[in-house]
Amino acid sequence: LVVNGQKIWTSYAHDADMIFLLVRTNKDVKKQEGISFLLADMKSPGITIKKIKNLTGNSEFCEVFFDNVKVPKENIVGKINQGWTMAKSLLG
């Protein structure tokens, strides 16, 4: 899979080894049905991290950019297009 886009307010992305992503993998179904849950290696080519400084000067939050980042199929968590179901179970 190839990922393009960005993720904002990601806690400690600059220290992370992996990042989880909810990505659109099917535009022809209901919004919730076309999302997949992936794990991406933060050292992958195409990942750029920009720290976001808060008012105190700390930067525990980051914006992460994905430019043609290749994620292997074995890094799909659960089944393709069923990432929203996985995410809901993690939320509560």
- pLDDT, greater one: 57 or 20: 20
Q: How far is the C-alpha of 1 from the C-alpha of 3, rounded, in Å?
A: 7
10-21 mean pLDDT = 96
20-40 mean pLDDT = 94
Look at residue 89 in the predicted model and tell me its pLDDT.
86
Look at residue 57 in the predicted model and tell me its pLDDT.
87
Q: What DSSP string describes 30-79?
A: -GGGGEEEEEEETTSTTEEEEEE--TTS---EEEEEEEEEE--GGGEESS
This prediction's pTM: 0.88
Write out pLDDT tens, residues 36-85. Answer: 999 999 999 999 999 999 888 888 999 999 999 999 999 999 999 999 99
Look at residue 16 in the predicted model and tell me its pLDDT.
97
What residue ranges do the domains of the chain occupy?
2-91
Topology of 2-91 in CATH? Butyryl-CoA Dehydrogenase, subunit A; domain 2 (2.40.110)
